[in-house]
Structure 1
Amino acid sequence: MKKFNFLLLFILSILIFSCGSNNGNKKSDFSLNISEKKKEFSQNEILKASISSKENKNFDSVAYFIGTKRLASGITADLSFELNSVLLGNQELIAVVYYDSTKDTLQKSIKIMSAKAPKVYTYEIVNTYPHQTDAYTQGLEFHNDTLYESIGQYGKSKLRKTELETGEVYKEISLEDEYFAEGITILDDRLLLLTWQEGQGFIYDPNTFERQGTFAYNSSKEGWGLCNNMEKIYKSDGSEKIWILDPETLAEKSFIQPTTNTAIKSKFNELEWVDGLIYANTYQFPSVAMINPENGTIEGIINFKGLQDKLGNKDSLDPNNDVLNGIAYNAATGKLYVTGKKWDTLFEVKIMEK
């Protein structure tokens, strides 16, 4: 009798669990269809999709999503949605079909591209300042008119404060040899420093450089660049994603994908918040992308080609480690500065549309 009761209970539990949702173990009775079988869209296009049933099975309602954004819901099987309010990049179109007290979740991968090509910008050198040639620059940031810099490479990673006019280092600490320092940003009297492949970042007091804690990366595997807009923290990891971190817990909550009208871009290294946009240099290229943080649109590209020719130590640089890297914006003065790995010069630049 005990065996029978146990078996009955086991069967009933399976039946109850199965009533909630189609968990993917059986083939759905419904299909998600995108008009013209398209897989790539521009953000100014209308996405049209529908639900069909192979055996004319009835459903109660359908809810459509791109990622977590609800597009529409109701008893109709059809979707017609203008894409100008969704995130760009690689996305999942999801349809949740409710029927017979259960539901099926269907999805298809799509790409959403920017509606316009990015504008092209050039630069004018306004001023030049000395820069320490031992600095394998990873992060560069102004805070209270003080210039902070993080320096990478194993066994050589450092965090320092420098004097803009002279390039003099007036405070510096070294990281342990097992850490490769990456980008930095300062928010709410916390200096955040990424490490490259060590899976964690460090929290410092920006005045004393006393280490106050650590934070994990969660979903991303590497640390590249950081910036903030006083409310959110943005983190690059070398992939096509720029992560948005919770400013309190520093957990990766969501992400954008920097996208043009033709491609989803990656390898963004140093990040800087400049007048509502994320400025991001592309690793090993003399260019900086101007990224809309709301949806990932690359609105502009600053071409810094030729800037390296202005260096005093150009001929002595290792060609594998001489790239543009380091963007600092002083919001109090409206001035923008750039440098590179082991460059002897920090440039104040003015950006102009080409």
Structure 2
Amino acid sequence: MKRNINIGFAAFLLLASCSNNEKMLDSLADYNNAKEEKGYHFGDKIELPEEITENTESIAVSQGDKETTDLTINPKFFTLGDNNVIFIIKTKGGEVLNQDATINIFSKIKEQDIPYKIIADYPHDPKNFIEGFVVEGNTVYESDGMNNASQLIKYTLGSSAPKIVARQPAEIFSEGCTIAEDKIYQLTYRNKLGFIYDKNTLKKISEFPLPNIIGEGWGLTYDGKNLIATDGTKNLYFLDVDNPSKVVKTVCVAGSKNIYDQLNELEYHNGFIYANVWHKPVILKINPKTGDVVGKFDFTQLTKENSRGDSEHVLNGIAFKGENMLITGKNWPKIYEISFQ
């Protein structure tokens, strides 16, 4: 009889422990869900509910191959934007509980809405599914995508007729392009290749494999020292211009209230990176040293006018003509010249 009582008591303790663990995980889930939208800033503490902290021996956070017991939002462990982590909780009863969570970290710098004025427009070939766009003087260099239609073209601003066309093989899907000295660098979408051309003739000089960390080629620009690429995530990849297969550093991007991914076409100008966001009618102004979004242009109306009801005819194309910005989009019939107000 005594043995049966002991077994029953042990079963009761086990059930109580399981129930308590479930409550802790539910509490952690509620906390993380509430914090996901509000987010954190660097220097903040992850302040878990007492019903978790009072019943735990230790709490750790794991991300990739890293783990920390410091619940401070530290840039050595976390990055701007979304961080997919696992909370590892060791209870006072000896159990180990795991729970997935997303920790969003926002910039401390408020992103400003940047006013602008359209001062001119120029023709653009609406057949071109533009992926890369750069202007030097009055000459436009444009990379157009889609399999069986990819090309690199060169034309004069104000005339959409190409002076030189470098067509790609059918299996190539061209993406972003930029000028570095006397060369043009061009990415491909999923071909895991980049190409280098002579700027004057558009003759291909060489090709290079994309770094393994870059899953897809999207946007590309040049800051005078490094190439800067996007791959449809929140990341800016700084590449060695002499060896574009080498990543020099990675900078993650976020705004003060918004998490941005799908960064697309890029342009570097006067110390800032300007970035399209796929399927959003905005252009971000980004501090390339920190990843903070410091400003934003809203081109909702222009996008509506030029998309003509096709959701894939997105805003995508940024260049500069002096201090004025030039913008266009996939299959848009126009290029617009914008002055900052």
Aligned to 1:321: 312
Which residue matches 1:8? none
Instruction: Give the distance between the partners of 1:143 and 1:168, measured in 2 at CA.
Output: 17
Structure 1 SS opposite 2:163: strand
Query: Would you say the 8 A contact 1:123–1:303 is kept in 2?
Result: no
- 2:239 paired residue number: 245
Q: Distance in 2 between matches of 1:80 and 1:223?
A: 34
Q: 1:168 to 1:81 in 2, by over 3 A?
A: closer
Which residue of structure 2 aligns with residue 142 of structure 1?
135
Q: Deviations over 1:224-260 (max 9, x none)?
A: 0001111121101011212111121112232111112
Q: Which amino acid aligns with 1:286?
A: P
Using the TM superposition, give the Cα deviation of residue 175 of structure 1 relative to its aligned residue in structure 2, in angstroms.
0.3
- The answer to whether 1:207 aligns with 2:206 is no
Q: Which residue of 2 aligns with 1:288?
A: 283
Please say if 1:350 is aligned against 2:336.
Answer: no
Deviations 1:306-340 (A, max 9, x none): 114555xx6xx46133211111113xx22210011
C-alpha root-mean-square deviation of aligned residues, in Å? Answer: 3.7
Aligned partners of 1:322, 1:144: CA distance in 2, in Å?
27
For structure 2, the residue ranges without an aligned partner over 5 or more in a row are 1-31, 48-56, 58-62, 86-100
Distance (whole Å) between structure 1 residues aligned to residue 305 and residue 223 of structure 2: 32
Superposed, which structure 2 residues align to 1:200-279 within 5 Å? 200-217=193-210, 218-250=212-244, 251-279=246-274
The within-5 A match list for 1:100-139 is 111-139=104-132
Pick closer, same or farther for the CA change 1:83–1:242 going to 2, 3 Å.
Answer: closer
Q: Structure 1 127/228 Cα, relative in aligned 2: closer, same or farther at 3 Å?
A: same
**Equivalent residues in 2 for 1:184-195, closer than 5 Å:** 184-195=177-188
Distance across 1 between alignment mates of 2:70 and 2:300: 49
Q: Which runs of 4+ in 1 moved over 3 A?
A: 37-41, 43-48, 77-84, 89-93, 108-112, 308-311
- 1:153 corresponds to which residue? 146
CA shift, 1:123, in A, is 2.7
- Tell me, what secondary structure is at the counterpart of 1:202? strand
Higher helix residue share: 2
User: Within 2, Cα distance between the matches of 1:262 and 1:243?
Assistant: 23
Equivalenced residue count is 281
Cross-structure match for 1:14: none
Corresponding residue to 1:196 among 186, 189, 194? 189
- Specify the code of the residue in structure 2 equivalent to 1:227: T
